[in-house]
Structure 1
Amino acid sequence: MSTETDFRRPISATELMCFSMRDLAPPYAIQYVVEGIGAISAAALRDAVSVASACSPGSRLTRSGKDWVDSGVPPSVEVVTGRSLDYSHPHGDPVLTGAIGAAGDGPEPTVEVVLLPGYPVTVVFRAFHGVMDGRGLAMWVTDVFRALRGEEPLGAPDPTADHDLVARLGAKGSPTPLAPRFSSALGHGAPVRGEPAYLTRLRTVRAAPPAAVARIAAVLARHSATPSRFMIPIDLRRHDPGLRSTANLSLPLFLDATPGQRWWEINDQLLTGLLERRELNEMASAGLAEAPAVLSRTIQRGMRRLGAHFGRNVVSGLISHIGRVDLGELSGPEFTATSFRIIPVHTMMIPLGFMLVETDSVLELAVSVRNGRGIPERLDRLLDEIVAELEGAVPDAGDGAGRRSPAGSPAEAPGATAVTLFRDRVAAAPDAIAVRGPEGELTYRELAARADAVAAELLGLGVRPGDVVAVLAGRTPGGVVAQWAALLAGAAFLPLDPSHPVERIRETLRRSGTRHCLVERRHLEIVGDTAEPIVLEEFAEAAAEPVPVAVDPSDTAYVVYTSGSTGLPKGVRVTHAGVANWYASAKEWYRLGPGTKYCHYHTPAADLACIAFFAAHLSGGSLVLVPDELDPVTIRGMLTTSGADTVLLTPSLAEVIVSLGFEPAPIRTLIFAGEQLNAPLAAEARRFFGPDTLMVNSYGPAEVTLTCTNHTLGPEIDPAGGPVPIGRPSAGTPVFLLDADRNPVAPGEIGELYFGGPQVARDYLGQPDLTAERFVVLDGGERAYRTGDLAHALPDGTLVFHGRVDDQVKIRGYRIEPNEVRLAIERHPAVRQAAVVAHRRNGSDHALAAFVVSDTTIDPAVLRAHLAERLPSYMIPATVHQLPALPLNGNGKLDRSRLPVPLGPGPDPEPPAAAESVPARIQRIWADILGVRLTALHPDSEFFAHGGDSLSAVRMLSAVARILPVESESDFITAVRRSTGPLTLARVCEAAHRAVA
């Protein structure tokens, strides 16, 4: 519906020039790209566009002679389904290269909106440059999202444009003469027939350094053979901060630089120009714009030829900094913005143009370049250098409680991704062993070729960067191939554990939004209809060529789900930049290299498995697969005969291993992670593994990419010491210790840990509220993850862990929210109320205890079976206690201090007989490990129904094996494996009998 107003303003001289530019370098449009998670209704977006446009007539202009007038028609909203933007398209993505309506020649508005509702959800705002500048479009876009959220738009009704404001302010000098005599940092290259006239490149800098414009100019000047001149667009609104106009209100400031000139000298020149208001002089330099359109186009074509063939340009480049954008202002009721980019305008006379914008955590660079022979390769190298320069310039966050590692780029190449690092390893040593295990070996050449074959299939099915591809496989070569296939296709892999409950796996698939699942045939039924299955065994043939997919450091590399306090797991999206930054430090921490043989026995669905995956293959080492579930024989084999020399253990598992009493093969590196490590256990591990093993204690929540701090343990460990420090952070990772009000704590005091830098994950997939709660922006603009962990810093910055600020707990390295377990218990129809708390058991290990209220008697075994259909085994409580009511405090909340202490019942009154039978001794072992009385056990007693878990099962089986003849241990474990059904006391006794028979 038309709501035309009397809004009218003259078309300025600079805006007239945009018409000839549009013909020579289409679409000559300013384009804002907002990406995020959630959903945006097309109808709601159209309504918001209409409301915002009514308050900003400049968004719906059409040409009428020498004036812009309000058409009364809101910008159109086009919906493009089934795809996402393809920034690598050789001739430009059709969404971004299409014409803007009639571009001012007809009745249609000169602004439009394109909605891509896939993943990520993307909204593109496009405006012909003749009606708006970048900051003008930003005003209107912000109002669209305000309207989408139901808020009142601020509006931009003022018709003031550049000529009006300059006339009011007054110019005081002469315009800068425009002469084609400046070279470009890229040199020049004649156009290539069939190639696009312009290229666009996007880069992300992990933090915004000061004086970014001057720093970029200094790099560009360094690569120019002659003095350079840079055009810096300046927003004239700075002279009238209250001006609400969307019109073109930007004029250039020119900076001259010489090769080797330092950035601060260029920055001083910029500041001086701003103080002297030199940009106001450039209104008079519009002689070209005032020329007839035919003459203007001819002159511009001639200037382009001079630049392309002889390297003579009117300027060396344009660098425009749009300022800071709050992603929260670009979000809606069901949509959370995760990134914002500006697609640069191609300009005929300018060989190289930069658009910069700061968001919550990064500086986004978008670059337009005039194409030519050799230009793409030189451009990529130049951008690598610029990103390294900017990232190396990020200032310290301060000292004291806000501690930061030394500024600087990681030791990897700027812009590195997991894919580029992997491709480098394949090229460097294609015949080296990448995967080894019981099913055989794969070289790097074979692994890459098989992964490329699966990746090609994914691309053929429409998988694109930003998509999530699930992997449902065991610790097998096929599972490794699948994860690399997803990465090589530009997607993120979502690892799933086939041993988890079927409904949990399917719910994870649904919640993640994944459309495709790479699956081993034996697990095919688990997928059901929740995703399109792609059977891995059908890809025995290798690809002839690598798939040509470019991956950006800001792209998601993998998604892992962790326990959630709301009752639903949280999907953590980790970027390639995070992985590359982790590896730059981890390769030194863990002595990673081509000789590394990393042991992988972890559940595929946890980030500990991702550590094994990336540590082995980014270093050129081998991933040693241990497919069997852990028992004494498996553990002995993986540490004696598997060939693995690098292993990560949780302290709980390490405690079990050192109790087994065998002599391990030489271990090069032992990594402790997943739980708090105490000195007595560390001392025992040192004796067990020997003085030549590098022992380190690492820390890192899933939201801060793999591990983010590390502490090396010395050859001598005092067993009487306390907690082992978690160490110092990885390169470029700021650490903050803050109080409840997010103020720094005093040096040496305990505070909550916050981490910043590139290893901070992107978000929780599809959970914007939780993302906003945990991924925060601190004073000073640092985007950080709030861990909920407590620590203090030693004088040298080494961190010491002190527990949690909430109820979250680690059990066997898995992060568990007791509230998720409680909600699962309360789904049982007989349970009215439940509480779940963690307590210490077996030294350093934690266990969960459940307390339930019911109108009927609850059989713990029935309740555990109920939970087994919904939760992984490590989340099932070890004990279940029925209470008449839960104890509450005066505020009506659970009073944990009044819950029964879930300890064992104490020693049995009868001491063991002098010549106790083997079954009786096994029963006593069970009672000791499970913490129950002998009288509570009978032949049909199930180990896990009495509170056992996988690690206590290993302890139990090892203890039973020790009462048998030494040569019978392997036979006993084999007999247990071959027997079917629950792990009952009778089954274990029968296996022991067979072993010695």
Structure 2
Amino acid sequence: MCPIEQWFLGFPAKMSPVTNFCVEGAGRLDTESLRRAVAVASEACPGARLVRRGRRWVDGGADPAVKVVSGVADPCAAPELRSPLPNRSGANCEVLLLDGPEPTVVLRASHVVMDGRGLILWARDVFRALRGEEPAGARSTGTVLDLDNPFYSQAGQAEAATKVPSLLGIPPRADIRRQLWRRRTVDGNFPALSAKLAAAVTAFSGRPTAPIRFPLDLRPFHPEIRSTGNLSLVLSLDVAAVDSWEEIYQRLLAALSDQDGRVSAPDPSILKAPVPLLRYFIRRAERSARREDRFSATANVNNLGRVPAEWFHTGTFEAAGAYMVSPMEPATPVSVVATEGDGRTDLTVAWWDGPGMSERVDALLDTVGEALAPAVHREQGRLTSAALPDPGPGIVDRFLEQVRRRPDAIAVSASDGEVTYAELDRRMRGVAKSLRELGVGREDVVGLLADKTVDAVAGAWGTLMAGAAYLPMDPQHPDARIRTLLADAKAAACLVTRPHDRRDHRPDGCAGLVLDDLPRDADLEPAAPAPGDLAYVVYTSGSTGRPKGVEVEHRSIAAYATCATKEHGIGPATRLPLLCSLSFDLAQLSLILPLTVGGTLQLLRDEISHLGLQEVLDAGATTLSLTPSHLDLITRLELRPGAVRTLLVIGEQFTRGVALRARQVFGPDCLITNMYGPAEATIGVGYHDFDADRDEGAAVPIGVPYDGVTYHVLDAGRGYVAPGEPGELYIGGSQLARGYRGRPDLTRERFVRLADGGRVYRTGDIVRRLPGGGLEFCGRIDDQIKVLGHRIEPAEIAQTMETHPAVSGAVVVARSRPGHRDKTLCGYVTAADGPIDIGELTGYLAEQLPGYLVPATIVPVAEFPRSMNGKIATASLPDPFGDAKPVAGGALEGMEDTVARIWSQVLGVEADRLHGASDFHRLGGDSLSLITMVAQVARHATGPDGERAFVSRLPEIIRRTTVEHVAELAVQARAGQ
């Protein structure tokens, strides 16, 4: 027993000093599992089982009760949180499960046995036990009397004699049994929070000076002690209204550093006072304070510190936040209790209830909230459009409606013919029936490994018609990568087109269906997916070395289709080509949108080339959806624009220079729209229509959100930034993905909740709000880069490189070739033992990773240069493009000389450094520069008659991109071979 516990023991029953620690979240908590976890945690934290036996505290042996309470919307209003402890059985702790759509766990403890931070120790162990982890325990039995602590030795020696009026006033007929509890959640975490709260409270008081008390936990000064008991006292400061929070903070830091200040705690002599006598004095002190409106301080500012939500996650429950609700204590000033969570700060206040008190407490919380997060920051840092109208039917029903309305309209136009809506519907039903016969249905994932063909379109939509979700994959990716994705997604089946059915791509348990062999018609009732059902999964690069699958639900894709078709004029007259791989998030725009409104999807089956692009344009494409890099390529290839009247540009930063060239090529009547959106928010969430007169910056703004989408620009603590300041963009609203498949940890990290409970996705993109109201992109907060619209995490590539036995360490960075704006992946490796065969290592990576993740060049280094803090200094790594050595053997002749000159222009390297074995990709070439190179060789080296023949050899060029091989193919094409 220590003096503070004796003090609380003297509280009359109606003033029961019970502290409530609330953990709220989403999901499900099993009552029996919670009871078992409470038992395990209470064994490890015996303070939870203490009962009074005469004048001694003993372990009562009974675990705290777990009670289920239903129908509670606001814990602060729940009468169960106001019931006294100890209860009739003498227990001083209990647990409430407020059961509802978003359950809340409340751990309750009498202040006689636990203080606030001790209660958190017990709560953490309860959730450790729920996760099946070993509790950390808190078995120390020492009290503050056992601590050799300078603060405690000063306690009571200089207690403030000041008697000041209450901060909130005393209502008529005030009764401590009728208390008003209020809670406010503010977005953000705030350095020097206690000082900022003290400054705000002092300002609210209107007094020139306000004595502020700060409850102080002594545990950080004695880390060897793990106890749930009362190990705290109170530090007091007189705060002047003119003091800035910085000055208050310095004074607090000085007191904590020196362990010297004006502190108070009950004197040890209180241990000799009979409890009935204590109760008499406490009642008298409470009546006196209430009658005279005089207290020892203006307020208590109690900062419980950081309490991360991850402490309270389980396999079925995702904590959103935690906060403390404590009743007011007799003769004690109002307390503002703060709990800092993940990007949020919860504030609670308890005071006498009565007329006008709700407004008074809310005014206090308004003042504190405004001091922490000014309203102007929230207004400027939050961008919203109109509410999303009812999205209506899902995308499957929208397609079927088009089948009914225009069965003979062209749904898909491909190089090998056109398919009507009625024919595509029949093919889809054949796919759906075949999948159902395998037992595939709702929430199952079906892989799709196909070239850009009508069968591929029928495969994706047929999977949706079966009620399942499709996983599009790139046939250009190696078999090992395909197997990894199918296994990670736990795909029930994989749809393939020939010749990919002969590949070793399926993991065990994944059935295979060849689209070419499936029936082209079937008697089938299409599924009607629910809004929350899974629609598709797309994989992106992962910073942990493992790709991550983004799960998109039907509600999200339906919301996107509603907004995108309206904002960008996509309708029955639209002809929209699919230019990229189906595995790319952007591909879903072309695959889905036109078929929901009666438009036409155009397929470019072969590898992208200047001839293929021109054929698409000549075939009547009205809208192009493409990356800035692809648009830049089209403007430089001097292609005829045809009927294109809308450009939807997305995937990477869109520069003004590319936009201006597009305006010249496609004409003044073509609408050029910069779209923005990560896969985690379903393709695109916002847009900006380019205006050459208005948009004078180096890059085209990313603009404003779609209807139903909200942008939040937040700082590192997840608070709203000041107007005009850069911050990280968080996206909320109707288009958010479900999360990452099989990665609850990563989902919790990237999909978070704001103070209002709204779920948002943290993009990692740094943006700034423009005076006109839209956003501009400023950069990234991490190492993620964009190459040709692909999101790339260099860590994934580096970790794959390090799995090679010859490599001990690896680093991957993006660098620009001389004279080029585009970035190229460059790898650097240190050897494990002996020299590294770079060619063999490149081949190894090509067997593990997609082509866009294989570095264009790999440079061996003896060791990695490091900065003062030990991080790799990437700027000090050697230039992979500046050290090329010309190879002896004389000048190239004939066709090789012509090819070399073209490569020199495309790659920005000196022609005399090239030779027959020079490799295009090793010199920094990427897929778009390859298309440019092929177009230049076809136009200037093969002649008009050989141009198409040379372009048809593109797959051969991709497999072996040397000067010698390209020149050989060019000669054959010119000769008509």
TM-score by length of 1: 0.61
The residue that corresponds to 1:772 in the other structure is: 748
The residue that corresponds to 1:404 in the other structure is: 383
Q: Figure out how many residues of one structure are paired with residues of the other and give that number.
A: 660
The amino acid that maps onto 1:982 is R
The residue that corresponds to 1:332 in the other structure is: 314
Equivalent residue of 1:643, what SS?
coil
Q: Deviations over 1:64-121 (max 9, x none)?
A: xxxxxxxx9x99xxxxxxxxxxxxxxxxxxxxxxxxxxxxxxxxxxxxxxxxxxxxxx
Cα offset, 1:136, TM superposition:
13
Residue 887 to residue 440, structure 1, CA distance change in 2 (3 Å): same
The residue that corresponds to 1:149 in the other structure is: 131
* Equivalent residues in 2 for 1:373-452, closer than 5 Å: 400-410=379-389, 412-413=391-392, 416-452=393-429
Cα offset, 1:447, TM superposition:
1.7
The residue that corresponds to 1:469 in the other structure is: 446
The alignment status of 1:657 with 2:639, answered yes or no, reads no
Q: Deviations over 1:623-647 (max 9, x none)?
A: 111111112222222222x332211
8 A contact 2:98–2:104 mirrored in 1 = no
* Equivalent residues in 2 for 1:65-464, closer than 5 Å: 147-150=129-132, 332=314, 400-410=379-389, 412-413=391-392, 416-464=393-441
The residue that corresponds to 2:490 in the other structure is: 513
Out of 726-735 and 940-949, give the one that drifted further: 940-949
8 A contact 2:957–2:966 mirrored in 1 = no
8 A contact 2:312–2:319 mirrored in 1 = no
* Equivalent residues in 2 for 1:10-29, closer than 5 Å: none
The amino acid that maps onto 1:515 is A
8 A contact 1:434–1:444 mirrored in 2 = yes
1:594 & 1:800 partners in 2: Cα distance? 33
1:996 & 1:454 partners in 2: Cα distance? 44
The amino acid that maps onto 1:452 is R
Q: Of 648, 652, 656, which aligns to 2:625?
A: 648
The amino acid that maps onto 1:734 is T
Q: Of 766, 777, 780, which aligns to 1:790?
A: 766
Equivalent residue of 2:595, what SS?
helix
1:623 & 1:568 partners in 2: Cα distance? 33
2:434 & 2:309 partners in 1: Cα distance? 35
Equivalent residue of 1:561, what SS?
strand
Cα offset, 1:931, TM superposition:
4.5
The residue that corresponds to 2:725 in the other structure is: 749
The amino acid that maps onto 1:486 is T
Residue 544 to residue 716, structure 1, CA distance change in 2 (3 Å): farther
Residue 889 to residue 45, structure 1, CA distance change in 2 (3 Å): farther
Residue 426 to residue 337, structure 1, CA distance change in 2 (3 Å): farther
The amino acid that maps onto 1:865 is G
Equivalent residue of 1:482, what SS?
helix
The amino acid that maps onto 1:149 is R
Equivalent residue of 2:848, what SS?
coil
1:475 & 1:656 partners in 2: Cα distance? 21
The residue that corresponds to 1:82 in the other structure is: none
The alignment status of 1:636 with 2:614, answered yes or no, reads yes
8 A contact 1:472–1:498 mirrored in 2 = yes
The alignment status of 1:565 with 2:547, answered yes or no, reads no
2:105 & 2:795 partners in 1: Cα distance? 43
The amino acid that maps onto 1:869 is E
8 A contact 1:492–1:557 mirrored in 2 = yes
Cα offset, 1:825, TM superposition:
1.2
Out of 557-566 and 790-799, give the one that drifted further: 790-799
Q: Of 696, 701, 707, which aligns to 1:725?
A: 701
The residue that corresponds to 1:676 in the other structure is: 653
The residue that corresponds to 1:925 in the other structure is: 902
The amino acid that maps onto 1:814 is H
The residue that corresponds to 2:923 in the other structure is: 946
The amino acid that maps onto 1:532 is A
The residue that corresponds to 2:516 in the other structure is: 537
Residue 55 to residue 686, structure 1, CA distance change in 2 (3 Å): closer
Residue 523 to residue 145, structure 1, CA distance change in 2 (3 Å): farther
Equivalent residue of 1:430, what SS?
coil
Q: Share of identical aligned residues, percent?
A: 40
The residue that corresponds to 2:568 in the other structure is: 590
1:795 & 1:584 partners in 2: Cα distance? 28
Equivalent residue of 2:598, what SS?
coil
Q: Deviations over 1:527-563 (max 9, x none)?
A: 334311122223233123432x332212221110000
1:493 & 1:805 partners in 2: Cα distance? 32
Out of 556-565 and 444-453, give the one that drifted further: 444-453
8 A contact 1:397–1:403 mirrored in 2 = no
2:319 & 2:969 partners in 1: Cα distance? 56
1:133 & 1:825 partners in 2: Cα distance? 50
8 A contact 1:336–1:768 mirrored in 2 = no
8 A contact 1:962–1:969 mirrored in 2 = yes
1:960 & 1:137 partners in 2: Cα distance? 63
Cα offset, 1:715, TM superposition:
6.6
8 A contact 1:464–1:490 mirrored in 2 = yes
The amino acid that maps onto 2:675 is S
8 A contact 1:905–1:932 mirrored in 2 = no
The residue that corresponds to 1:486 in the other structure is: 463
Residue 972 to residue 717, structure 1, CA distance change in 2 (3 Å): farther
Q: In terms of Rg, which structure is larger?
A: 2
8 A contact 2:571–2:598 mirrored in 1 = yes
1:329 & 1:822 partners in 2: Cα distance? 31
The residue that corresponds to 1:579 in the other structure is: 557
Equivalent residue of 2:586, what SS?
helix
Out of 143-152 and 965-974, give the one that drifted further: 143-152
1:980 & 1:690 partners in 2: Cα distance? 34
The amino acid that maps onto 1:473 is A
Q: Deviations over 1:972-992 (max 9, x none)?
A: 323555679512212211222
The residue that corresponds to 2:783 in the other structure is: 807
The alignment status of 1:600 with 2:582, answered yes or no, reads no
Q: Extract unaligned runs of 5+ from structure 2.
A: 1-24, 43-62, 67-96, 108-122, 136-176, 178-307, 321-341, 343-374
1:612 & 1:551 partners in 2: Cα distance? 21
Cα offset, 1:995, TM superposition:
3.3
2:611 & 2:100 partners in 1: Cα distance? 67
Residue 34 to residue 473, structure 1, CA distance change in 2 (3 Å): farther
8 A contact 2:413–2:601 mirrored in 1 = yes
Cα offset, 1:782, TM superposition:
1.7
The amino acid that maps onto 1:400 is E
RMSD: 4.0
1:683 & 1:937 partners in 2: Cα distance? 34
Cα offset, 1:448, TM superposition:
2.1
The residue that corresponds to 1:261 in the other structure is: none
The amino acid that maps onto 2:658 is L
1:422 & 1:141 partners in 2: Cα distance? 48
1:331 & 1:940 partners in 2: Cα distance? 57
The amino acid that maps onto 2:383 is R
Q: Of 937, 941, 945, which aligns to 1:960?
A: 937
The alignment status of 1:501 with 2:483, answered yes or no, reads no
8 A contact 1:903–1:931 mirrored in 2 = no
8 A contact 1:475–1:601 mirrored in 2 = no
Cα offset, 1:46, TM superposition:
8.3
Equivalent residue of 1:957, what SS?
helix
Q: Extract unaligned runs of 5+ from structure 1.
A: 1-32, 57-71, 76-131, 154-169, 171-325, 340-359, 361-395
The residue that corresponds to 2:806 in the other structure is: 830
8 A contact 1:975–1:994 mirrored in 2 = no
8 A contact 1:650–1:674 mirrored in 2 = yes
Out of 469-478 and 970-979, give the one that drifted further: 970-979
Equivalent residue of 2:521, what SS?
coil
8 A contact 1:907–1:933 mirrored in 2 = no
The amino acid that maps onto 1:667 is V
